[in-house]
Amino acid sequence: MDGDGVMISLLNLSKTFSDDKHTVEAIDGFSLDIQQGEIVCLLGPSGCGKTTVLRMIAGLESKSSGSMKVRGKSVTSAGSDRGLVFQEFALFPWRTVRKNIEFGLELKTMPVEKRHEISSKFIELVGLTGFENVHPGKLSGGMKQRVGIARALANNPAVLLMDEPFGSLDAQTRNLMQKELLRIWSATGKTILFVTHSVDEAVFLADRIVVMTARPGKVKEAIPIGIPRPRDRTSSEFISVRGEVLSVLEAEFEKTQIRELSGD
């Protein structure tokens, strides 16, 4: 899906965490533009700041320096224009599927009829028709994550921020949810920034893969994925791109290992 403008703009973004004893430079000079309707996956070694970047865009972490804009407006706090989907399902166990999806709409004091209309739309979109009144405890992991995606979409965000949303699922369910996400993306045209540790997942989903350096994280390389969808994980083209991404990652993993061995 081709974008028609910049949706997310990050310029020289930096983030430092500090307390009385330690200072950690998590992000330094991170610059990236993401187009409207684009799926971008962030990859990098553990501790490189992938989730920190996501949380800053979401407005859950403040930046130390740099510029951060969504739809041309500076990000200063959380907002309904950015929907966040976590790895943990983060559902309210006492609320039904419908009530979980409607939670953000209730906070906006939207009338019941309108909330019901919107939740019904997204229940159908994510394939949960018939489970409207079921509580999360009776749902599979994949179904719980569908609820999380529907809850994020119900607020009509411009951007969907996804922090390893399928990381806790078994391999078969994870592959299924990747296909479902692409179906939902095709239906909604949302801009998606997706954090993952899986090269295979990134190549399957992304228009571009952004590989981050070891801490402090910055953009090492942005790799466009020109494989037409639907993508075949066993095709020579897929395997070739996967190898290219792995080779870019390799040096950064080595840096992380050296740092861990040296106790830095």
Domains of the chain: 6-81+159-262 (3.40.50.300), 88-156 (no CATH)
Q: Which residues pair with 69 in a beta bridge?
A: 9, 74
- Rounded CA-CA distance 165/253 in Å is 22
3-state SS assignment for residue 61: coil
List, for residues 64-112, the tens digit of each pLDDT value.
Answer: 999 999 999 999 999 999 999 988 878 999 999 999 999 999 999 999 9
Q: What pLDDT is recorded for position 253?
A: 78
List, for residues 6-36, the tens digit of each pLDDT value.
Answer: 999 999 999 999 887 889 999 999 999 999 9
Give phi and psi for 24, each to the nearest 5.
-120, 120
